[in-house]
Amino acid sequence: MGVLSSSSRLARRTQVISLFAVGALALSACGGSSLEQSGDGASGDEVKIGLLVPTSGVYAPLGADMSNGFKLYLDQHGGKLGGHKVKVVNADEGEGPQTGVPAAQKLVTQDKSTVVVGVVNSATALGLRDFFNESKVPLLVANAGANDITGSRKSEYVWRTSFANGKVSGALGSTVAKEAKGGVYLMAADYAAGHEMVAGFRKTFEAAGGKVIGEKYTPFGKTQDFQPYLSAIRSSGARAVFSFYAGAEAVSFVKQYKQFGLAGKTPLYGPGFLTEGGVLAAQGDAAVGVKTSLHYSAELDTPRNKEYVAAYKQAFGKAPTVYSVQAYDAAAVLDKALAKGTSSEELTKALAGVGAIDSPRGSWTFDADHDAEQKYYLREVTSGGGTIANAILNDLS
Ligand code: PHB
């Protein structure tokens, strides 16, 4: 399947979903549930925050990490953000916009959330952009990397504490160009994030002299048997592979890469979601040697991160992940912004002035497009003394 045909199909699908979102907005306004009131989600001094993460589907474990990160920050701050008591309303994003868009609409129009935090899936984020822009309620994206929501479709109301797909994958391009001993095969889940991750990587990889030998997109959320694709990689003569998978798909892909006999022979690279947190624990030794780019590792050797890792382990009995940090930082952002006002309008204005966030990943700020301006690291999966971890090799620029 060609990149162009599938991405234009995706753009059409996103457009349809966006129209649906705006249509629903108009209907709900006519029905007397005026969106002008949606920012008054407080009762007394309480601020209502919608938390939209997947609790079902392939990305459910990522959603659990995000809920934990958000909860940890709240628990460490007496349940208050910006001096105001907070009420969190949860909704299930599911596996994409078909479930995620109506769930977000409910959080705003029915539950009257002042702000919505979360969103794992790029396609959901793209489907939500117009709804938040029109309803004038801020959306703080704490994972989904869709390039356009902080690019060509940037909105005053959409901010991101995580990453843009093109940046996290682009950070890896020159390293793979230097290390690969020949052509590289590209593979990803067939939806918005997969296509953008591959495009971002390809750009910096080819600019550094790398050669792409083949490319394939696998049905998102449906592929359990990667064997036919692994055969294609082998017969292509690829000397390395770049891939984007996360959650349950990352577990299957990396385990089967090893079972098929490619691990150790054909080096595997990708954005760090490929080997993050519970995914890495499930992959076990099959993941050893996989190299990834990411803006976080639980192994980061800084006092701020060590303190965070210890607190997270104490609360949840396991190490934190990039997903938990992105949501923890969303709470930190709201802590600063809500101190300036608790309506959706006041909060949106205050987001521009939150300044540096003292995060476990290292200090970061919002850039002019509302994206996180941050450092990326090259990581390698290592195993020793019964523990498996994403060791940090060096900074990427
Ligand atoms: C995305 O759809 O943007 C996405 C999903 C899961 C990840 C990273 C990005 O781990």
122 CB near ligand 1 (under 6 Å): yes
In the prediction, which pLDDT does 262 show? 98
Name the pairing type of β-strands 387-396 and 376-384.
Answer: antiparallel
Ligand 1 pocket test: pick from 10, 53, 143, 163 the residue with the most ligand atoms within 8 Å of its Cβ: 143
In the prediction, which pLDDT does 44 show? 61
145 CB near ligand 1 (under 6 Å): yes
CA of 4 to the centre of ligand 1 (A): 20
121 CB near ligand 1 (under 6 Å): yes
270 CB near ligand 1 (under 6 Å): no
pTM for this prediction? 0.91
* Residue keyed to tokens 């079902």: 56
CA of 340 to the centre of ligand 1 (A): 31
127 CB near ligand 1 (under 6 Å): no
In the prediction, which pLDDT does 397 show? 74
Ligand 1 pocket test: pick from 121, 150, 243 the residue with the most ligand atoms within 8 Å of its Cβ: 121
CA of 194 to the centre of ligand 1 (A): 8
273 CB near ligand 1 (under 6 Å): yes
Dihedral sign, Cα of residue 197, residue 125, residue 367, residue 134: positive
Report how far Cα 224 is from the mean position of its chain's Cα atoms.
Answer: 22
C-alpha 188/C-alpha 49 separation (Å) is 33
10 CB near ligand 1 (under 6 Å): no
C-alpha 209/C-alpha 223 separation (Å) is 32
C-alpha 161/C-alpha 19 separation (Å) is 26
CA of 30 to the centre of ligand 1 (A): 35
CA of 235 to the centre of ligand 1 (A): 29
CA of 124 to the centre of ligand 1 (A): 10
In the prediction, which pLDDT does 385 show? 84
96 CB near ligand 1 (under 6 Å): no
C-alpha 80/C-alpha 243 separation (Å) is 40
Per-residue pLDDT of the chain (397 residues; tens, 9 = 90+): 333 333 444 444 444 444 444 444 433 333 323 333 334 445 567 999 999 999 999 999 999 999 999 999 999 999 999 999 999 999 999 999 999 999 999 999 999 999 999 999 999 999 999 999 999 999 999 999 999 999 999 999 999 999 999 999 999 999 999 999 999 999 999 999 999 999 999 999 999 999 999 999 999 999 999 999 999 999 999 999 999 999 999 999 999 999 999 999 999 999 999 999 999 999 999 999 999 999 999 999 999 999 999 999 999 999 999 999 999 999 999 999 999 999 999 999 999 999 999 999 999 999 999 999 999 999 999 998 889 999 999 999 7
In the prediction, which pLDDT does 362 show? 97
In the prediction, which pLDDT does 162 show? 98
Nearest to residue 329, comparing CAs of 353, 294, 358, 366? 358
C-alpha 159/C-alpha 344 separation (Å) is 13
272 CB near ligand 1 (under 6 Å): no
